[in-house]
Structure 1
């Protein structure tokens, strides 16, 4: 699986919180699922361009 998230950016966003090492893998899977769904929705609407409304 490709790394879709930047761990340092996640840590910056969650400032003041501890982040478990397995959180990053789970977040990466969630992001991949969101992207897959957006791509599917664009394709179902006969578009090759994924847009914000596909989220």
Structure 2
């Protein structure tokens, strides 16, 4: 699987929190699922462009 998230950006956003090493894999998986769902929705609406409403 391709890394969809940038660890440095996540660390910056959660600067006051400790982050477990497996959090990044879980977050990456959630993002992949979100993108797959958005793609299915745009396809179901006969569009090639994924739009915010597909989220």
Aligned to 1:53: 53
Q: Structure 2 CA distance, aligned partners of 1:27 and 1:2? A: 12
TM value normalised by structure 2: 0.99
Q: Which runs of 5+ in 1 are unaligned?
A: none
Deviation at 1:15, TM superposition (A): 1.1
Runs of 4+ in 1 over 4 A off after TM superposition: none
TM value normalised by structure 1: 0.99
Q: Structure 1 CA distance, aligned partners of 2:22 and 2:37? A: 23
Query: What is the aligned length?
Result: 55
